[in-house]
Amino acid sequence: MKKQDWVLILCIVVCLTPFFIPSTGFFKWFNIATSSHPFIMAFFKFAILATLGEMLALRIRKGVYNEKGFGILPRMLVWGFLGICITMAMMIFKAGTPFFMSKVASCEYHSLMDIFNSPTLTWGKVEIAFCVSVAMNTIFAPVMMTFHKCTDIHISQTGGTIAGLFSPMPMKKIISSINWENQWGVVFKKTIPLFWYPAHTITFILPPNLQVLFAALLGVALGLILALTSK
């Protein structure tokens, strides 16, 4: 391990330590802030953690956490925006999927929500959580991942600058340059059913306060997976 690796580990330990010290009240503040300002917290959570995932992927591929044209700040802005979209999608699918299930199975919507929101872990809750995960990752995830891929290419082509990020995106050119064999065969066909279906099933069966922390960890995994599969 190099000096830069130890510096990163030290920074992570320093950032995580307040969560495990009850006297700091940081964990309580984090939960209150997430509940009161979910979209603002989502922006910063994904901006920091998902970008960290991409930096880890770069470290694995090239041995460095940053390079010319990588564009850490533009990537943080994109991930912050995507974090807001992901949080919105979670809200929509957590409410909409049980409603759809109630219509298909001819049962009471409120009964399903009671099972889903119950603190007790049951097979019924796992089943609903799995259906929510499948619906969200099948309908929303491919669009989000493709948008991220387009912004990723745009950032690289414009030198990794903030000004470049906000310059007009030649969407036709960018979309045609995507390796769709990789995007479909790896990102969509493999990572979604094999990783994201079970990962978000676990997310949706956790208590709300733990969902926040688990989603933050998935933010790192998301950035890492997408960055690695892009190669």
Return the pLDDT at 230: 60
Return the pLDDT at 228: 67
Q: What distance lies between CA 229 and its chain's CA centroid?
A: 15
**For residues 100-119, average pLDDT:** 90
Q: Is the domain of 13 the same as that of 63? A: no
Q: Is the domain of 71 the same as that of 2? A: no
Do 144 and 86 contact (CB within 8 A), yes or no? yes
- The whole-model pTM stands at 0.89
Q: How many domains does the chain have?
A: 2
Write b or e for each residue in 118-132: b if 16 or more Cβ atoms lie within 10 A of its Cβ, otherwise e: eeeeeeebeebbbbb
Q: Is the domain of 57 the same as that of 115? A: yes
More confident residue, 33 or 175: 175
Q: Is the domain of 137 the same as that of 202? A: yes
Give the integer Cα–Cα distance in Å for 213 and 161.
30
User: For 40, phi and psi rounded to 5 degrees?
Assistant: -65, -45
Q: Is the domain of 1 the same as that of 110? A: no
Tell me the three state secondary structure of residue 112: helix
**For residues 147-168, average pLDDT:** 93
Do 145 and 82 contact (CB within 8 A), yes or no? no
Q: Is the domain of 142 the same as that of 199? A: yes
Confidence of residue 140 (pLDDT cuts 50, 70, 90): very high
Q: Is the domain of 73 the same as that of 129? A: yes
Return the pLDDT at 209: 66
| Statement: residue 99 has pLDDT above 90 | yes
Q: Is the domain of 123 the same as that of 216? A: yes
pLDDT tens per residue across span 28-47: 787 788 888 889 988 998 89
Tell me the residue range of the domain where 5 lies. 1-29
